[in-house]
Copies of this chain bind each other. A is one copy, B any other.
Amino acid sequence: MLKIPSHQVAGHHASSRTRGPLIDDSGHFYKPLQGDERGSAEVTFYKQFSSNTKIPDHIRKFFPVYYGTKVMNASDGSEHPHIVLEDLTSNHENPTIMDVKIGSRTWGPEASDEYIAKCFKRDRETTSVQLGFRISGLQIYINEEVGFYKPARDFVLKSSLDDVRLLFKKFVSSGPFDETGLGPDRGWASVVYGGLNGILAQLLELKAWFEDQTLYHFCACSLLLMFEKELALEGGSPNAQVKIIDFAHVTEGRGVIDHNFLGGLCSLIKFISEVVGDHEDHKTQDGDDQ
């Protein structure tokens, strides 16, 4: 039984009129091939990557499992080829998710001038140039009554540096926060961002690989940061996960590291570290959260 994914925070959305991703009950995610060269580029990447023996096992877990391609009825009713992937949210009930597009530059040197100009404008208008990344979308689970905080895509893209800082605090807030942005208490910062299995530890693992790998340049890819608030509420691990997605603009590394992705990744790590650090500082100094 195919349905429209409920936890998608960025990218093209499916409807009866537009083609978008679908999921099934057995944990598959069906992504319609984009019509232009982007679709075939993404398939090429998945095929090449999944059989590439140079990818260390501990790095492979950051990538969605690839199951091939399939021609099937798309969300708009048309017959269309889809990339079949692991549904990353299938084992989550109410996932809190952030889609972070990495890199101060989202275009590759070989793109057309027109495409470069479009990306360049977007990179300057968002935080990409300044921060080395931008938030493309997010949803934060508040509680059963309120459901999710899920700001509109255009609103998120307009975020300033300070807005982004605030969103990273809201992301790990243990209670509701008011719409003015006051009140995110960062209650889950230490368990979600920090800790042995937290998001920071995973990002550092990824960073070590990016300092060395010269196989691919992951242009315009996103990192998906996810966790389950209710698991933390029950006193367990919040199942924090980091995944890389969207490979339509990946190019060959040609012996050069992906300095654009790595720089953005380091910036993200520093940014999140400060949210954790500030939080820990406040706890220590005041005996309570601010």
Contacts and interface: CB of A to CB of B under 8 A. Distances in A.
B211 A254 contact: no
Contacts of A109: 124, 129-130
Contacts of A214: 270
Main SS at interface, chain A: helix
Contacts of A119: none
A266 B267 CA distance: 13
Interface in A80-121: 104-105, 109, 120
Given A105-B104, A260-B104, A255 B267 contact: no
Contacts of A161: 254-256
Interface string A263-278: 1101100110010000
A267 B259 contact: yes
B256 A271 contact: yes
A132 interface: yes
A262 interface: yes
Contact of A132 (B129, B259, B264, B271): B259
Nearest to A270: B257
A212 interface: yes
Given A211-B270, A270-B214, A259 B255 contact: no
A131 interface: yes
Nearest to A265: B259
A270 B212 contact: yes
Contacts of A105: 104-105, 129
A22 B262 CA distance: 39
A184 to B, nearest CB: 17
Contacts of A254: 161
26 contacts: A104-B105, A105-B105, A109-B124, A109-B129, A109-B130, A120-B120, A130-B256, A131-B256, A131-B259, A132-B256, A132-B257, A132-B259, A132-B260, A161-B254, A161-B256, A211-B270, A212-B270, A255-B274, A256-B270, A256-B271, A257-B267, A257-B270, A259-B267, A262-B262, A262-B266, A263-B263
Given A132-B257, A132-B260, 19 more contacts: A104-B104, A104-B105, A109-B124, A109-B129, A109-B130, A131-B259, A132-B256, A132-B263, A161-B254, A165-B255, A211-B266, A214-B270, A256-B267, A256-B270, A256-B271, A259-B264, A259-B267, A262-B262, A262-B266
